[in-house]
Amino acid sequence: MTVQELPGAAAYRPTPPPAWKPLTDPAPLLPDPEPYRVLGTDAAADADPELMLRLYAELVRGRRYNVQATALTKQGRLAVYPSSTGQEACEIAAALVLEERDWLFPSYRDTLAAVARGLDPVEALTLLRGDRHTGYDPREHRIAPLCTPLATQLPHAVGLAHAARLKGDDVVALAMVGDGGTSEGDFHEALNFAAVWRAPVVFLVQNNGFAISVPLAKQTAAPSFAHKAVGYGMPGRLVDGNDAAAMHEVLGEAVARARRGEGPTLVEAVTYRMDAHTNADDATRYRTDSDVEVWRAHDPVTLLERELTGRGLLDEDRIEEAREAAERMAAALRERMNADPVLDPMDLFTHVYAERTGQLREQADGLRAELAAEQERHGEHGAEDGR
């Protein structure tokens, strides 16, 4: 029986549903489908030459830093190093668009961003050397601890930016995450919180093509990561992550927008990880050399160098100058990393709670006795191992 046939059906008039309208107009939130570029386009003419030269010097130093840190793993001076070679434009731009009062929330790959923000390179590497979890005071530098669990630092960035705004401070938080990290629940929750709270946060997704071995196509089915923004009610921006000028411009706009109180932005940088996931990873298992070659032609350092040389802003002397400065940085880093850190095992119990619990006091006493016994044994055998 259809509705028409029902007794009294003629009298039946369904009430229309209440009017519904979307909370937000999606159109302005959508990214352009093509990653934004400056280098090699007309837009480059408008770019500030001084900024471009600064970016260049930082890129050259950044590349050298990545190479040096990777070398330190081979010498056993670093336990592990996740290189950002190929991604330096993202790292440098992220650091340079922030004011001193702003906060950076890096992932484990973003040591370089922390260093470019002014952090002592040795302090930045202690996590990866293995002597400390975080080698620096996050409050002093306004750099959150390098974060190993994927995407968990993103809600922290939101909470911090929210708290700053509640206190009336115009502080912006910039949080970095990889393409793989965007699949984690914390990514979703952080973006949603940020948009609902209109928190002054910039999310930077470095889409470098792989999560260890897993390629982009197995990570997401979305048109782009930047497209995800519209679902949360924030703008998404797609940018060439190897174009330092474009990165600086897009992130700078997002930071300015956040500072104006207009809420968060999701920026996707399309880039490529030239090295393996870490020094311990064998990238030949999941990609070929020719895959990498395609991207080598689009190297962030070369791109900027070519642009600046073409414009007559850079000559061989200035290139050499930048390289020498980078070399000095690397030499200093090498030298300092060659010194053994002095560690006090009793520190194990120092920073668990504000005050040691009875349980920890007992365990600390036990370790102290063990250490004393160890020292006595060494003394008996006349062994001096320098510690």
Partner 1 sequence: MTTAAATTGARTAKAKPATMAQALGRALRDSMAEDPAVHVLGEDVGTLGGVFRITDGLAREFGDDRCTDTPLAEAGILGAAVGMAMYGLRPVVEMQFDAFAYPALEQLFSHVAKMRNRTRGAMPLPITVRIPYGGGIGGVEHHSDSSEAYYMATPGLHVVTPATVDDAYGLLRASIASDDPVVFLEPKRLYWSKADWSPDAPAEVEPIGRAVVRRPGRSATLITYGPSLPVCMEAAEAAVAEGWDLEVVDLRSLVPFDDATVAASVRRTGRAVVVHESTGFGGPGGEIAARITERCFHHLEAPVLRVAGFDIPYPPPMVERHHLPGVDRVLDAVARLQWEAEG
What are the residues binding ligand TPP (CB under 6 A)? 109, 148-150, 178-181, 208, 210-212, 273, 277
Q: Which does 181 bind (CB under 5 to 8 A by kind): partner 1, ligand TPP, none?
A: ligand TPP
Q: Which does 334 bind (CB under 5 to 8 A by kind): partner 1, ligand TPP, none?
A: none
**Is 298 noted as a catalytic residue in this protein?**
no
In the complex with ligand TPP, which residue's Cβ is closer, 193 or 210?
210
**Is 272 noted as a catalytic residue in this protein?**
no
Among 9, 352, 369, 373, binds partner 1 (CB under 8 A): 352
Q: What's the min distance (Å) between Cβ of 348 and ligand TPP?
A: 24
Q: Which does 178 bind (CB under 5 to 8 A by kind): partner 1, ligand TPP, none?
A: ligand TPP
| Segments in 167-243 forming alpha helices (H) | 185-197, 228-232
With H, G, I as helix, E, B as strand and everything else as coil, classify residue 103: strand
Query: Side-chain half-sphere of 34: how many Cα atoms within 13 Å?
Result: 3
> Residue 238, by phi and psi: left (phi above 0), alpha (psi -120 to 50) or beta?
beta
Query: Rounded distance, CA 5 to CA 65, Å?
Result: 80
Q: Which does 155 bind (CB under 5 to 8 A by kind): ligand TPP, partner 1, none?
A: partner 1
Residue 21 in the binding site for partner 1 (CB under 8 A) = no
Q: Which does 211 bind (CB under 5 to 8 A by kind): ligand TPP, partner 1, none?
A: ligand TPP
Run of H or E including 104:
strand 103-105
Closest CA to 117 of 142, 136, 134, 135: 142
Closest CA to 115 of 277, 301, 332, 299: 332
Residue 342 in the binding site for partner 1 (CB under 8 A) = no
Q: Under rule CB under 8 A, which residues in 151-190 are in contact with partner 1?
A: 152, 154-164, 166-167, 173, 185-186, 188-190
In the complex with partner 1, which residue's Cβ is closer, 134 or 220?
134
Please name the residue that has the structure tokens 């470098």.
Answer: 208
Rounded to the nearest 10 degrees, the angle between the axes of helix 244-259 and helix 300-310 is 100
**Is 37 noted as a catalytic residue in this protein?**
no
The maximal CA–CA distance of the chain, rounded, in angstroms, is 107
In the complex with partner 1, which residue's Cβ is closer, 109 or 141?
141
Taken in order 67, 64, 80, 93, the sign of the CA dihedral is negative
Sheet with strand 236-240: strands edge to edge: 103-105, 173-178, 201-207, 265-270, 236-240
Residue 350 in the binding site for partner 1 (CB under 8 A) = yes
In the complex with ligand TPP, which residue's Cβ is closer, 40 or 145?
145
Q: What's the min distance (Å) between Cβ of 374 and ligand TPP?
A: 35
Q: Known catalytic residues?
A: 273, 277, 286
